[in-house]
């Protein structure tokens, strides 16, 4: 839900430097999770999606009302209505399924106290991902002791939970490798240690993930090649997750140049972009898609942060306006998936909203100027033109140490 970490500085944390906004963010997160734990479930898994599993005929289902989807980028501070809503929803759907299943994986009785966590009877027996074409590779940490030697995060995962999947797109297209991160379990003190890390000392899930990204990638690729039955030289890698899981997914995307995109839902506003990722390794070209329910609790936090830290070049926010309930109830991955799943039986052109588009590089010029300027190969023509338009000499990379507008440390 709420924060990122530093693998370099874990004790003590400079609590005295906290602005009032930071404390407010933590209060909102605590309030949201407590409300989910006490409230009635906001909804079960979406009806259209299970019909694919159960083989139910949906030919007679009435067409759903039009989806209300708006897009926000650095160029448009106010979200703009989109006439491609159904195509966007279909593009998001395979990843929303994984972000929801992340709560179902390794379910325990303790988890069932949270309304945001699907109950056992709402989880489609781990089959839902198959309807979208995914093959599940592994949970991390594994539920099977015999897999311990292959567990990248070891025994000190601090509550970090994720799953790896692969989608075969054909012999001529690199396979899609996905990592889905689980959000907060209300009953997990380790999750709350991660959410409240600004106030608490010690290592948490962001630190653990930052240390193990290469191992996770290596392990998942090995498992994927075994599942596909062939050697793979090129991959398309994407990360996803909901709330806290969304923040972790973005951290992994910024941490590795192998990741093409992070597609996250109702995400934490903190990603570890600066604290956990070194200047020599930050992925300035990764595409970030932040989908969220209009009016969900963390959308107000992100909106407040955008006043000071506008979106960077590589980030697009996708606002879904159809989800009902108060600002706490709307922060539900179950409800989000139920809404966009309505496009299952809608015939629509993709209008360019394909996996290739979602993973297309989107250079963050400020990131390059401030952190990757020494990598001339990444200093793209687009960024050089923008740099020149601001009155700087694009050939003088030493100027990259100077601030580049308000988006210098854009809302990460």
* Greater pLDDT, 205 or 213: 213
Task: Please give the DSSP secondary-structure letter assigned to residue 377.
Answer: G
% residues pLDDT > 90 (the chain): 25
Q: How far is CA 133 from the centre of its chain?
A: 20
Q: What is the residue extent of each domain of the chain?
A: 15-362, 365-412
Give me the pLDDT at residue 57, please: 42
Q: Which residues pair with 320 in a beta bridge?
A: 69, 293
Residue 229, pLDDT > 80, answer yes
pLDDT band at 273 (very low <50, low <70, confident <90, very high): confident
Alpha-carbon Rg for the chain, nearest whole angstrom, is 20
Asked if residue 179 lies in contact with residue 263, where contact means CB atoms within 8 angstroms, the answer is no
What phi and psi, each to the nearest 5 degrees, are found at residue 259? -85, 125
Q: How far is CA 299 from the centre of its chain?
A: 14
Whose tokens are 């075994």? That residue is 226
Q: How far is CA 117 from CA 26, 182, 330, in A?
A: 20, 10, 13
Give me the pLDDT at residue 177, please: 98
Domain 15-362 class? alpha beta
Give me the pLDDT at residue 134, please: 95
How far, in Å, CA of 110 to CA of 288, rounded?
32
Helix (H), strand (E) at residue 194 = helix 189-195
Asked if residue 253 lies in contact with residue 283, where contact means CB atoms within 8 angstroms, the answer is yes
For 124-128, 265-269, 333-337, which range has the lowest pLDDT when averaged over its residues? Answer: 124-128
pLDDT in tens, 105-116: 654 444 444 444
How far, in Å, CA of 378 to CA of 60, rounded?
52
Token pair belonging to 198 = 């600004």
Asked if residue 206 lies in contact with residue 5, where contact means CB atoms within 8 angstroms, the answer is yes
pLDDT in tens, 126-166: 578 888 899 999 988 765 545 544 445 545 667 788 999 99
Q: Which residues pair with 290 in a beta bridge?
A: 264, 317
* Greater pLDDT, 131 or 194: 131
pLDDT band at 246 (very low <50, low <70, confident <90, very high): very high
How far, in Å, CA of 35 to CA of 312, rounded?
32
pLDDT band at 36 (very low <50, low <70, confident <90, very high): very low
% residues pLDDT > 70 (the chain): 62
Asked if residue 220 lies in contact with residue 27, where contact means CB atoms within 8 angstroms, the answer is no
| pLDDT (average), residues 182-196 | 69
pLDDT band at 395 (very low <50, low <70, confident <90, very high): low
| pLDDT (average), residues 311-317 | 90
Residue 18, pLDDT > 80, answer no
How far, in Å, CA of 407 to CA of 311, rounded?
7
**C-alpha count within 13 angstroms, C-beta hemisphere, residue 262:** 34
pLDDT in tens, 282-293: 998 899 999 999
Give me the pLDDT at residue 231, please: 94
Closest CA to 99 of 251, 215, 267, 218: 267
* b/e code 77-88 from CB counts within 10 Å (16+ = b): eebeebebbbbb
Give me the pLDDT at residue 319, please: 92
pLDDT in tens, 348-393: 666 678 888 898 888 888 888 788 766 655 566 777 777 777 777 7
Give me the pLDDT at residue 378, please: 55
* Greater pLDDT, 376 or 263: 263
Asked if residue 331 lies in contact with residue 33, where contact means CB atoms within 8 angstroms, the answer is no
| pLDDT (average), residues 302-310 | 82
* b/e code 64-74 from CB counts within 10 Å (16+ = b): beebebbbbbb
* Greater pLDDT, 348 or 35: 348
Closest CA to 105 of 90, 91, 92, 120: 120
pLDDT in tens, 55-100: 334 344 455 567 889 999 888 878 888 888 888 998 999 999 999 9
For 234-248, 301-315, 370-384, which range has the lowest pLDDT when averaged over its residues? Answer: 370-384
Task: Please give the DSSP secondary-structure letter assigned to residue 397.
Answer: G
DSSP assignment of 105-122 equals: TT--TGGGG-TTSPPGGG
Residue 260, pLDDT > 90, answer yes
* Greater pLDDT, 333 or 36: 333
Q: At how many degrees (to 10) do helices 85-104 and 333-340 cross?
A: 140
């Amino acid at each position: 839900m709420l924060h990122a970490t530093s693998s370099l500085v874990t004790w003590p944390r400079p609590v005295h430097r906290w602005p009032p906004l930071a404390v407010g963010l933590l209060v909102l997160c605590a309030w949201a999770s407590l409300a989910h734990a006490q409230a009635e479930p906001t909804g079960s898994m979406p009806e259209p999606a299970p019909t694919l599993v159960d083989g139910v005929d949906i030919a007679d289902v009435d067409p759903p009302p039009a989806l209300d989807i708006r897009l926000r980028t650095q160029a448009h501070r106010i979200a703009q209505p989109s006439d491609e809503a159904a195509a966007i929803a279909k593009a998001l759907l395979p990843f929303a399924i994984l972000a929801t299943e992340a709560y179902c994986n390794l379910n325990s009785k303790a988890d069932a106290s949270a309304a945001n966590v699907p109950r056992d009877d709402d989880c489609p027996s781990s089959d839902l991902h198959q309807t979208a074409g995914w093959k599940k590779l592994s949970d991390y940490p594994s539920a099977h002791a015999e897999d311990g030697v292959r567990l990248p995060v070891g025994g000190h995962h601090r509550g970090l939970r994720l799953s790896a999947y692969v989608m075969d797109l054909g012999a001529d297209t690199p396979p899609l490798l996905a990592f889905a991160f689980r959000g907060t379990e209300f009953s997990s003190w380790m999750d709350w240690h991660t959410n409240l890390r600004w106030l608490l000392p010690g290592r948490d899930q962001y630190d653990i993930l930052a240390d193990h990204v290469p191992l996770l990638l290596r392990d998942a690729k090995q498992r994927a090649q075994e599942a596909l039955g062939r050697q793979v030289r090129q991959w398309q890698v994407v990360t996803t997750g909901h709330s806290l899981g969304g923040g972790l997914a973005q951290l992994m995307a910024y941490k590795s140049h192998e990741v093409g995109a992070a597609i996250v839902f109702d995400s934490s506003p903190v990603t570890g972009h600066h604290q956990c990722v070194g200047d020599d390794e930050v992925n300035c070209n990764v595409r970030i898609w932040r989908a969220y329910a209009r009016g969900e609790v963390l959308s107000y936090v992100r909106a407040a942060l955008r006043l000071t830290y506008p979106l960077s070049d590589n980030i697009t926010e996708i606002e879904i306006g159809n989800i009902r309930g108060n600002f706490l109830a709307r922060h539900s991955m179950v409800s989000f998936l139920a809404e966009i799943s309505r496009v299952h039986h809608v015939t629509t052109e993709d209008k360019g909203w394909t996996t290739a588009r979602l993973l297309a590089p989107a250079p963050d010029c400020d990131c390059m100027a401030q952190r990757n300027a020494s990598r001339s190969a990444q200093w793209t023509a687009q960024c050089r033109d923008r740099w020149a338009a601001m009155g700087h000499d694009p050939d003088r990379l030493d100027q990259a140490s100077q601030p580049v507008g308000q988006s210098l440390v854009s809302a990460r």
